[in-house]
Structure 1
Amino acid sequence: MTRLFQPASSVRQVRLPSWFALLVASILPLLLIQSASAQSLPDFTGLVEENSAAVVNISTVSEPDPRTQQTPFSERELEQMPDFFRHFFGGPQSPFGGGSAQPRRSMGSGFIVSEDGYVLTNNHVIEGADEVMVRLNDRRELPATVVGTDPRSDMAVLKIEDDEPLPVVRIGQSSELKPGQWVFAIGSPFGFDYTVTSGIVSATGRSLPTENYVPFIQTDVAINPGNSGGPLFNMDGEVVGINSQIYTRSGGFMGVSFAIPIDDAMNVFRQLRDGGSVARGWLGVLIQEVNRDLAESFGLSRPRGALVAEVMPDSPAAQAGLQAGDIVLAYEGEAIERSADLPPKVGRTPVGDQVDLTVLRQGKERTIEVEIGRLPEEEGAGTTPGAPSGSAGGPLGMQVEPLPDQLASRLDIAGGVLVTEVGQGPAFQAGIRRNDVITELNRQAISGIEDFRAAVSNLPSDRAVSVRIIREGRATYLVMKP
């Protein structure tokens, strides 16, 4: 009978080469690490099954406007044409327009936030739509009513109704998000319903050029056309954002996407649901970033805060005594590290609330109490862009003349000097250009030529100084190194 098992003592020992033992010793830890890494990757299966029902597909139809259909002639020219030519070039059967235009259709995503049928999505998903339909993942299709929109935050609130119960998402807290956390999105990119993509939070509190009042969440979750308005979930299955924008040079996803924080979105939702409009806090200042040179000129040890370049007349800031040249270092005790930190905090503050601003003025910190106003349609606490260089004489490489009364009245300022020429020198390097109005130099107010000459004669030679200018009606600070 053949033995299948043998005692260990009777088994012949095989001596392995030393190089083989070294190879095994080096590879085994890597295999163990890979196995541990695979086990630590998140599993989204249960989360997707739990939350897909409350995610919806949104389709819109916009009827064409006959008045805007393209023709090679203007409306006036068409009216002056004989009937035959007008029919050919602009009539209903015209090959250049008319009745041949088709309704425009678009698609996006959204999610249900309440059992009575309120749906959140992006404003750009339903903007200009004549018909909005919401489709659930059980294939129910329901017409939607637009409750309200807020283009500033790119949000829209819809309402649907049905006899059957409606699934809802669970709302999380975007304020608790931290870079590096896993998140995932459910949406309909390119019309592929209920597509799931995942990634991590890349950053929070991002300010984009198109909107200063929304501190966007940046992720690397794949977002494409059709994902707009869909939810961004955390690993607890809670909605923490609304997927809204991507950064792209190709038109498709390139690894950078942005979501509206759900804390801000729910604030907008409640205001639109209850009142039909959104009220945001308003300070009434134009601000700019504090770079290294500006920090040096204002006596800061490092760049931080929001530099007030201009205080708008009759604004809450003006009434509280805020001044151009103040640097806002804290808002209600919360540090302002970058100028982009200030507008979202102001915008979230209820109108009429009293808040404390910690500002740096003339090298000393002080607290100013401000009563927050309501943001007008075209106003804000935005960041002014940096100034370009201009194109002669004087110690700073520029020439100035008294500010004409007419220009002072148009700019609504009490004094300053008008830059008439800029050549090579400190002024050119600072970015001062012809027709700028200088109202402050080295923290000294400039009301006229004599003030300007006195300030120039006292300029230090060992450090940078600030220059406040008004260009095209906007004030901004530049840095000059004499």
Structure 2
Amino acid sequence: MLEIKVSKFFSSSIFLSTLIVIKLCAISCYISACAQSTVGLTNHNYLNLPDFTSIVEKVESSVVNIRTMTNITSRESNNGFNNNDPYDFFRWFFGPQLQQPIPIYPPQTNEEKIIPRGMGSGFFISNDGYILTNNHVIMDSTEIIVTLDDGKEFIAKIVGTDDRTDIALLKIESNNTKPVSIGKVDLIRKGQWVLAIGSPFGLDSTVTAGIVSAIGRDTGYYLSFIQADVAVNPGNSGGPLLNLNGEVIGVNSQIISRSGGFMGISLSIPIDEAMRVAEQLQSSGKVIRGRIGVHIGEISREVADALGLIKPYGALVSYVEDGSPADIAGVLAGDVILSFNNENIKKYTDLPRIVGQTKPGSKSTLGVFRHGKRIILDIKIGEVQSDTTYIAENSNGLDKDSVVFDIIGLKVSNIPDDICSNLRINGGVLVKGSFGNAASCGLRQGDIILAINEYCVNGVKDFGKYLNTLNKNKSIALLVRRGEQTQWIPIKFK
């Protein structure tokens, strides 16, 4: 019996050894075949993957890093603590119930300090130092530092900004800068490869790649954007979006995110619109836009069917401003504007964009659908005048009654009746400066505050009176007008 068991044992061992050898040979052959297949793919580029190295070499020296500085009070410079009161630090942790002796320190002063504000990206559009970037990158800054690819630093000056398109034009003193090549927006196709270069989180000259996800993405703003899945993060703002020819087709501007970081959706300003703005900023320091004076909205399929339209397109007029170009031309509330200068209005947001690009004073035509018929109206284009521009031109004496509300970080003043009339507003206060919580929430000089919560504001005295009645432990909402846009901005008390 022992001999039989030993014989069976050796037979089993030989069999298992043979199986292991066979499996090892099979694995070795598979690895060899994969390696040869990979070499074949590399040599013949069966996957048709792009090589971005030549694009980076071509454009990298044209992209710059932008750092901004701003002024804050001495209290803000230490995370909100009073530098002159050591108990302030403990009160922040343990609450106001902490008892302390009568302070013998000198009273707090409102000394200002210059600290870093933020960072972003930009790129040269000329060989004499003009830089294109986002307005929000340099907004409210007191100093702008531009760092080139070779490490050289320059102090940049602001040539002009445009809040509506979020474009800013800067200039450094250099006659040896390398401009980017400008691509054609009408050649962009969904699914094409794109590249972004910028300084996310301050990491200079970072390159990311992706594809165009959508064209003409409308987010409710003045512009339609190029949507891509190329990774951009805070610090990429103002950098270029490039095609495979190394040409700029967009200015990276926004991300759609629930976390504050990249989540697969980035939005870029089309370069043709950005360059139009830059040319005007360079020539006059501001952007001049046309207007016709109508309030418009989207037309639904149900309304289109009821009116007799073949499909729901165009801009539905809800209100016509008295004395406006549209009023003079004969546009009525309820009209549907289908075309402007023979260009079809596919979405209602196309109308302000197309009209805005038209030179004020020029004669144009509107294709209007009214009572089942299409009619053509002749119209003379007016000029958009932003609130900030109008107030700047009529600001004599506005600083006399300015009041600082430290509790939320705002300096505001009354708005004269004649300016309210021209801006078509009933009261409000003008923001002359922001700091602390207000600055963090995005409020800035030139904004107009129309209401606090449900209460309409009729002046500085009214603003302060109502502000003092609110619960300081709860957030409040300010109705803010900026340019032609009005929005609610939440803010906390200090």
- Above 0.5 in TM-score? yes
Tell me the residue number matched to 2:418: none
Shift of 1:66: 5.0
Is 1:60 the equivalent of 2:72? no
- The superposition leaves residues 35-60 of structure 1 with CA deviations (integer Å, 9 ceiling, x where unpaired) of 88853122111011100000000011
Q: 1:335 to 1:87 in 2, by over 3 A?
A: farther
Note closer, same or farther for the CA distance 1:169–1:88 as it changes in structure 2 (3 Å cut): same
The residue that corresponds to 1:162 in the other structure is: 174
Equivalent of residue 323 in structure 2, options 308, 314, 324: 314
Which 4+ residue blocks in structure 1 deviate beyond 4 angstroms? 31-38, 66-72, 84-90, 98-102
Q: 1:102 to 1:162 in 2, by over 3 A?
A: closer
Equivalent AA in structure 2 for residue 170 of structure 1? S
Instruction: Establish whether residue 331 from structure 1 lines up as the match of residue 340 from structure 2.
Output: yes
* Cα deviation, residue 86, structure 1: 8.2
Map of 1:109 onto structure 2:
121
CA distance in 1, matches of 2:169, 2:54: 28
Separation in structure 2 between the aligned mates of residue 348 and residue 60 of structure 1, nearest angstrom: 31
State the AA in 1 paired with 2:65. Answer: N
Contact 1:71 1:90 (C-alpha < 8 Å) held by counterparts: no
TM-score (norm 1): 0.64
Question: Which of 237, 242, 264 is the matching residue for 1:233?
Answer: 242
Q: Contact 2:190–2:215 at 8 Å: present in 1 too?
A: yes
Contact 1:108–1:125 (CA under 8 A) maintained in structure 2:
yes
Match status 1:129 vs 2:134:
no
**What's 1:362 paired with?**
371
> If the length of structure 2 is used for normalisation, what is the TM-score?
0.63
Match 1:198 to one of 195, 205, 209: 209
Is 2:120 aligned against 1:120?
Answer: no
The CA deviation at 1:376 is 2.5
SS at match of 1:200: strand
Change (3 A) 1:253 1:90: farther
Closer, same or farther in 2 for the Cα pair 1:87/1:160, shift >3 Å? Answer: farther
- Tell me, yes or no, if the aligned pair for 2:69 and 2:114 is still in contact at 8 Å: no
Residues in 1 aligned to 2:214 and 2:271: alpha-carbon distance in whole angstroms: 15
2:199 to 170, 188, 194: 188
Contact between 2:71 and 2:112, CA under 8 Å: does it hold in 1?
Answer: no
> Residue 298 of structure 1: which of 307, 311, 326 is its match?
307
Superposition deviation, residue 135 in structure 1: 0.7
Structural RMSD (CA) = 3.1
- Is 1:142 the counterpart of 2:119? The answer is no
The letter for the 1-side match of 2:207 is: V
Distance 1:85-1:126 versus aligned 2 partners, 3 A rule? farther
Contact 1:205 1:341 in 2 (8 A): no
What amino acid does structure 2 have at the position aligned with 1:155? I
Which of 48, 51, 56 is equivalent to 2:56?
48
1:236-385 matched pairs, under 5 angstroms = 236-377=245-386
Q: 1:224, 1:87 → 2: CA distance?
A: 47
**Structure 2: distance between partners of 1:85 and 1:145:** 47
Alpha-carbon distance between aligned partners in 1 of 2:106 and 2:310, rounded to the nearest angstrom: 69
Query: Per-residue displacement from partner, 1:280-332 (whole Å, max 9, x unpaired)?
Result: 11121111111112112212232111111111111111111111111111222
Question: How many residue pairs are counted as aligned between the two chains?
Answer: 336
Q: Secondary structure at the match of 2:349?
A: helix
Determine the C-alpha separation between the residues in 1 that align with 2:152 and 2:346: 48
Return the letter of the residue paired with 1:367.
I
Aligned twin of 1:91: 108
Q: Structure 2 unaligned runs (5+)?
A: 1-25, 83-100, 389-423, 425-494
Q: CA offset at residue 65 of structure 1?
A: 3.5
Identical-residue share of aligned pairs (%): 47
CA deviation map 1:240-268 (0-9, x unaligned)? 11111111111011111111111111111
* Inter-CA distance 38–143: structure 2 relative to 1 (3 Å threshold): farther
1:424-439 correspondence runs (5 A): none
- The answer (yes or no) to whether the contact 1:282–1:346 under 8 Å persists in 2 is yes
Change in CA separation of 1:370 and 1:247 when aligned onto 2, cut-off 3 Å: same
SS in 2 for 1:103: strand
Structure 1 unaligned residues grouped into runs of 5+: 1-19, 73-83, 93-97, 380-410, 412-482
